[in-house]
Structure 1
Amino acid sequence: MSSTLTISWWAALIGLAIAIILILKKVNPVYSLILGAIVGALLGGANLVQTINILIQGSQSVMGTVLRVLAAGMLAGVMMESGAADTIARAIVTKLGDHFALFALALATMVITAVGVFIPVAILIVAPIALEVGQRMNISKLSLLIALSGGGKAGNIISPNPNTIAAAKGFNLQLSQVMIADLIPAILALAMTIFIANLLKKKGTMITERDFELPSSSKSLQKLPTLKTALVTPLVAVILLLLNPIGSLLHINFLTNLNLDALYILPFAAIVGTIAMKQGNKIREYAAAGINRMTDVVLILIGAGTIGATITSSNLPEQIINLIKISHISGVLLAPLSGILMAAASASTSTGVILATGSFSKAILGFGVTPLAAAAMVHTGAIVIDQLPHGNYFHVTANAMHMDIKERSRCILYESIIGITAMVTATIIFGFLKF
């Protein structure tokens, strides 16, 4: 690609719009993104060869994130397939008891999402427990799903999941930096979850015996690992991820210079945890399951890289900066807004973060926003309305709780309030107070 080529901003915007519209029309997201990138580049003045070069440049730019997402698949596969996540969830609910039922369910979903399990899978794991508790305590399905979804959202922004990896790598940060930055927003999101879930305890459909006759989304009965062994994988991962930040904080040169990347840490933690659970003979099975779950994310990353390259090759970032300056709106708000809009368009946290960082990172940083602040605000913005009906999450969670579309749709507003709580917290802390 010619270094002097600059695509017209309006063409890049049309390309992005085409990609989003196609995704909303249920066209494969990867092809939607690549097609949008091609159209945007060609309309913007690139010739056929330059367009291909832009696409290749864009796909190459996301390879670092792709490798780390694949590494995360190893950890996710072990946590999900071994039963470790089930053990942790049941232990939390049992220890806290019925008196703190909604808190226990929200916390359980938060924890197992935070240790690397995908949020839809986390809800599938905890849903059967929630139905049991709900029937016993006479709590509505609406309240229960708010507890699970809100807890999952809180855990998702502090997890080594693809969305957090994308937020970190989109702004050239360490994964642990973003996880730590989003901790306070996650805690406040959890608090809001518990508050709303308790308000809705008697609202909506109650659980009946029929809910237990329907096909369950939970895993078939298996011999679950003990709590001590189930905790090994997440504890090893968290401890190793925190070594570098701790070294920087305490000025310990050895730890500061260690540079243990998630690419090494996550598979290593998964292997150690598998051995601790005495399931070393299943490591290939867990790895295969994990990588299968990451395949869609990796493909979307490649597609998002192409549309991101089309946008960054254009003068759209400069135009956005000029527009915001003219309107006298704080440029800080571009970070959370880009996360909200892209996640809403794709109905996916991961895809939303990938699109927002790939398309708007240059413009966001152009306002003097620090990379860490930008990552935290984009990331928390992406959990505001990522639960819309054109995405997989909406339907997976509805089936998990045996809810029809109308009843599931009632949750969207409350889930958005939980996401807004995290986003506003991150924006105040990092955007305006500049911590």
Structure 2
Amino acid sequence: MESSLIISWWAALCGLAIAIILILKKLNPVYSLLLGAIIGSILGGANLTQVIDILIKGSQSVMGTVLRVLAAGMLAGVMMESGAADTLARTIVNKLGDHLAIFALSLATMVITAVGVFIPVAVLIVAPIALEVGQRMKISKLALLVALSGGGKAGNLISPNPNTIAAAKGFNVELSQVMIADFIPAMFALAMTVIIANWIKAKGNRVQDNDLLNLNAESKDKKLPSLGSSLVTPVIAIVLLLLNPIGSIFHLSFLTAFNLDALYVLPFAAVVGALAMKQGNKLRDYAKAGVSRMTDVVLILIGAGAIGATITSSNLPAEIISLIKLSHVSGVLLAPLSGFLMAAASASTSTGVILATGSFSKAILGFGVSPLAAAAMVHTGGIMLDQLPHGNYFHVTANAMHMDLKERSRAIFYEFLVGSTAMIVATIMYGFLHL
């Protein structure tokens, strides 16, 4: 692309708005983003050759994230398909017992999301357990869903999932650094989840006998791996990812010399874990399942890279900085707000974080926000409204808990409170206290 080309800010904004409107109209998100990028570039004065250059530049900028997301697919495939995630969930709920039922369900969903399982899948795994516990303890389905969804949101902040990878690579920081930075906000989100779910446990419909009739019999009869072998994959992944940060903190050069990236760590942990569970012969199936789950994310990354390149090739970042300075509002707030708005528009944490980092990273860093602080704040902003009805998470979780759309919609506000808690804590910590 010619270095002299600067796209008009209003054209870049039009391109982004067109992409979001098309997503809301249920056009495939990838095509929506590509169309938005093309239209925005043309409106901004780019010729057809320059438009192609912008699209290629955008797709190249996300290739590092794409590779790491595909690597995460291997880990996700092993944890989901082997039954390891199911073992972790059932162990947590059984050990904590009925008197801590809501906390146990929230923690179980948090843990299995944190070890690399997608949040909708995590809810699907824990939902049958939640319905059984809910009927026994007379806890409403509304409270159960908030417990699972809130726990999943907390786990999503500290997981090697695509959203965390996108937040890290969007600001060129290590994945493990973002996971560590968002740990305290995640704990606050978990605490808020438990408080809210206990507060509303008598509100809404109770679990009925027919809700338990169609529980996944396969998961009950399926021979699950032992707890010890199920922990191998997540423990290896976490330990290896933390070697570099620990080395940096304690100035241990032999640890920092390893320079272990998620690209190597996640597939390695997945393979060792599968062998520990004596399921090495199923690795090909696990890999296939994991990659298939990542395909949509990878395609969205390419589309988001295109719209992101359109915006960064424009004077929009500079105009945003000027506008915020004129309004005397703290520029720090652009980080969580961009994550929040993009995730709400796409009803997806991953897509929201990808769009926010690709489109607004330049403007956010322009306010002097450190890359790690920016990644943490954008990421927490991305979990606030990813549960809106135009996304698949809303419908997957409604089906998992046997709720109609009206009943499922009642949980949106409570889930928003959980996400807001994490976002506020992260913004105070990294935006204003500069921890």
TM above 0.5, one fold?
yes
Letter in 1 for 2:346: S
Superposed CA RMSD in Å reads 0.9
Which residue identity is paired with 1:227?
L
Q: Distance in 1 between matches of 2:221 and 2:48?
A: 55
Partner of 1:345: 345
Instruction: Map 1:147-158 to 2 at 5 A.
Output: 147-158=147-158
1:336 is aligned to 2:320? no
* Counterpart AA for 1:231: L
Partner in structure 2 of residue 326 of structure 1: 326
Tell me which residue corresponds to 2:16: 16
Q: Which residue of 2 aligns with 1:44?
A: 44
Number of the residue aligned with 2:421: 421
Q: Is the 8 A contact 1:30 1:302 kept in 2?
A: yes
> Matched residues in 2 for 1:270 and 1:128: separation?
26
Q: Is the Cα–Cα contact under 8 Å of residues 128 and 215 in structure 2 kept in the other structure? A: no
Once residues 3 and 208 of structure 2 are traced to their aligned partners in structure 1, the CA distance between those partners, rounded to angstroms, is 65
Q: Does the CA-based 8 Å contact 2:244-2:258 persist in structure 1?
A: yes
Partner SS for 1:383: coil
Using the alignment, how far apart are the partners of 2:219 and 2:368 within structure 1?
48
SS of aligned partner of 1:224: coil
**What do the CA deviations read for 1:174-218 (whole angstroms, capped 9, x no partner)?**
100000000000000000000000001110000110111246497
Summarize deviations over 1:275-301 as a string: whole Å, max 9, x none: 000000000000000000000000000
- Are residues 1:314 and 2:331 paired? no
Shift of 1:219: 4.2
SS in 1 for 2:244: helix
CA deviations on 1:126-147 (whole Å, 9 max, x unpaired) are 0000000000000000000000
Question: For residue 207 of structure 2, what is the aligned residue in structure 1?
Answer: 207
Is residue 128–residue 217 contact of structure 1 (8 Å, CA) maintained in 2?
no
CA deviations over 1:354-374 (Å, ceiling 9, x no partner): 000000000000000000000
The alpha-carbon distance between structure 1 residues 70 and 44, as it changes in their structure 2 partners (threshold 3 A), is: same
Which ranges in structure 2 are unaligned for 5 or more consecutive residues?
none
2: CA distance, partners of 1:215 / 1:373: 42
* 1:222 aligned partner: 222
- How do 1:243-392 residues align onto structure 2 when only pairs under 5 Å count? 243-392=243-392
* Whole-angstrom distance in 1 between the partners of 2:257 and 2:226: 36
Deviation of the 1:410 alpha carbon: 0.3
SS at the partner of 1:206? coil
Which amino acid in the other structure matches residue 232 of structure 2? Answer: V
Map of 1:174 onto structure 2: 174
- Which residue identity lines up with residue 201 of structure 2 in the other structure? K
CA separation in 2, counterparts of 1:258 and 1:181? 21
For the residue of structure 1 that corresponds to 2:124, the secondary structure is helix
**Count of paired positions:** 435
- For the pair 1:94 / 2:97, whether they are aligned, the reply is no
Distance in structure 1 (CA, Å) of the matches to 2:372 and 2:147: 29
Amino acid in the other structure paired with 1:197: A
- Where 2:70 maps in the other structure, the secondary structure is helix
Amino acid at match of 2:416: S
**In the aligned structure 2, how far is the partner of 1:180 from the partner of 1:89?**
22
**Matched-pair identity in %:** 77
Q: Distance in 2 between matches of 1:221 and 1:266?
A: 29
Structure 2 match to 1:407: 407
Q: Which residue of 2 aligns with 1:395?
A: 395
Q: Contact (CA 8 Å) 1:216, 1:400: kept in 2 or not?
A: no
Alignment-mate amino acid for residue 186 of structure 2: A
2:107 alignment partner in structure 1? 107
| CA offset digits 1:378-421 (Å, max 9, x no partner) | 00000001100000000000000000000000000000000000
TM-score by length of 2: 0.99
2:80 matches 1:76: no
